[in-house]
Amino acid sequence: MAFRFFINCDDAHVLSTRDQYKDLNPKELFRLNLHKSHCNGCRKFHKTNDIFTRKMNGLKWIKLTLEQKQKIKARLKEQMKAK
């Protein structure tokens, strides 16, 4: 399949999202950058996407530890058996 340089805005938006998770290979990154170079809307979208990622990464997400999860699971299992 021939290498497709130009992509539409829908594809560019999905690539922009994948880029936030560092999931793009060099070809895809090139396509995204090429599209952004001539599409103001996608450039703007990518910038907002970047801000969103930055803000989200700055948040402290407090998670349950594996041990805490096991404890809750055990309680739940017990209750399900008793039912």
Partner 1 sequence: MPEVKLIPEKWVDRYGDYLFNYTITRINDPVLAQDLVSETFLAGLKSAHRFQGNSTERTWLVSILKRKIIDQYRKQNSKKGKAEVRVSYLETSDQEGDWLEERVGDMRNPTVEDEIEQKELGEALSACIDSLPERYATIFVQKSIDNLETETICKEHNITASNLWVILHRARVQLMDCLKDKWFNEN
Residues that bind partner 1 (CB under 8 A): 13-14, 17-18, 20-21, 23, 48-49, 51-52, 55-56, 58-64, 68-69, 71-73, 75-76, 79-80, 83
52 neighbors 35 (Cβ within 8 angstroms): no
CA–CA gap between residue 5 and residue 52 (Å, rounded):
27
7 neighbors 15 (Cβ within 8 angstroms): yes
CB of 8 to partner 1, least distance (A): 14
Nearest residue (CB) to partner 1, 2 versus 80: 80
* φ, ψ for residue 39, nearest 5 deg: -120, 110
CB of 16 to partner 1, least distance (A): 8
17 neighbors 49 (Cβ within 8 angstroms): yes
Nearest residue (CB) to partner 1, 3 versus 61: 61
CB of 18 to partner 1, least distance (A): 5
